[in-house]
Amino acid sequence: MTDVQSLILDIGSGSIKAGLHFHDEPSLIISSMIGRVKYKPVMMTNVKLGYVGNEAMRRRGILDISYPIRRGIVQDWDDLELLFQYIFESELKVDPHEFSLFLSDSLLNPDSNREKMVELLFETFGIPGLYFEYQPLLSLYSSGRTCGAVLHSGEGLSQIVSISNGYVLPQTIRRLNLGGFDLTEYSRKLLNTKGHCFKMKADFEIVRELKEKCARISLSNDDLQHIDSSELFYELPDGNRIEIGNERFEIGEALFNPQCLGIDSIGIDQLLIDSIQKCEIDTQRDMFGNIILDGGNSRIPNYSTRIVNQVEKSASPSMKVRHVNMSNEYSEWIGAAFMILHSQMNYMWYCREHYDEFGTNFIHKHGETF
């Protein structure tokens, strides 16, 4: 495997980041979506019937949009194959036969999902080698650490885990099926309740952009009763302006009180505390002192302050709480590049020879993190 180049694919529910491992950042960021025309033209024969990734995003108003990946799990393998084909052939312009693939993966992903991915990449695309790694571990490596408690809250889900010396501690894994997608839908519900009309499929991306620019997090649940309720104005793509009031704080509150979305779970702050407290006492000190906050939702204003405040209330006085808010949106990708450049990856790839001899099940035993 020493003469084979490596390609990194950071696969998420909202986007896929791809590029060669020796680059400083991914060369491609593509929306994880497929768009198909709603009505097939009768007379015109040269009209495309489908669009992939960013092309689908730009035409979302006239297309039926589907998302092959939900909650970090592949839901439509045919559409994912189209996405991969588009990435390799149209965007990166590479031959997958010549590149080993390093893929990010979510915690508690079903074995069947990973096995199907192995089969797709070896059988359909003919890659020579493959490796999976958990997204939170890649976030940790990107921060320059091998020990820490990671809270990764992305588009499709929130993942929490404590990691010691590069090893995921299984008893500390927490996964909440709540992410940026849910916050966007909640934003749409709040705005519609206020009298606005965002009910079309194409409105989803408009509301998502509004959420990313306007959402704020209160410093505590009690603060929701005393926040500045003055309204701000947001300009929509069509030039109309709408008023945004308290709902800009209610949006992010769903991460800390999932019950408002009908989800029976404690919030991400309490899940983080629970994860750390499942460690041995000596290990807890390292976890409290190295909290990594990552994922798109971590960029909502006051996010890290709210979480650290809650963690400090639960930590004993002898435990020093420190955190790193990963401002780089490519952190998982960078963590993967770090692994390839600074570890014994030549001995860790799951090769075509392994696949031919052992099949897909071998992927669960190959490599220390499997």
Contact of 269 with 256, CB cutoff 8 Å: yes
Asked if 144 and 131 sit in the same domain, the reply is no
Does residue 318 lie in a domain region?
Answer: yes
Does residue 73 lie in a domain region?
Answer: no
What tokens appear for 325 in the block?
């808010």
Does residue 370 lie in a domain region?
Answer: no
Does residue 218 lie in a domain region?
Answer: yes
Contact of 360 with 125, CB cutoff 8 Å: no
Contacts of 114 (CB under 8 A, 6+ apart): 105, 132, 360, 363, 364
Query: Cα separation of 205 and 152, whole Å?
Result: 22
What number of H helices and E strands is found in the chain?
Answer: 12, 19
Domain count along the chain: 4
Q: What's the domain range around 351?
A: 5-30+78-135+332-364
Asked if 194 and 290 sit in the same domain, the reply is no
Query: Cα separation of 351 and 288, whole Å?
Result: 38
Asked if 321 and 273 sit in the same domain, the reply is yes
Q: What are the pLDDT tens digits along the chain (370 aa)?
A: 556 689 999 999 999 999 999 898 999 999 988 888 876 654 444 446 678 888 888 777 778 888 999 999 999 999 999 999 999 999 999 999 999 999 999 999 999 999 999 999 999 999 999 999 999 999 999 999 999 999 999 999 999 999 999 999 999 999 999 999 999 999 999 999 988 888 877 788 889 999 999 999 998 776 655 556 567 888 888 888 888 888 999 999 999 999 999 999 999 999 999 999 999 999 999 999 999 999 999 999 999 999 999 999 999 888 999 999 887 889 999 999 999 988 778 788 999 998 998 888 878 765 444 3
What is the CATH classification number for the domain harbouring 92? 3.30.420.40
The gap between the terminal CA atoms of the chain, to the nearest Å, is 20
Asked if 243 and 310 sit in the same domain, the reply is no
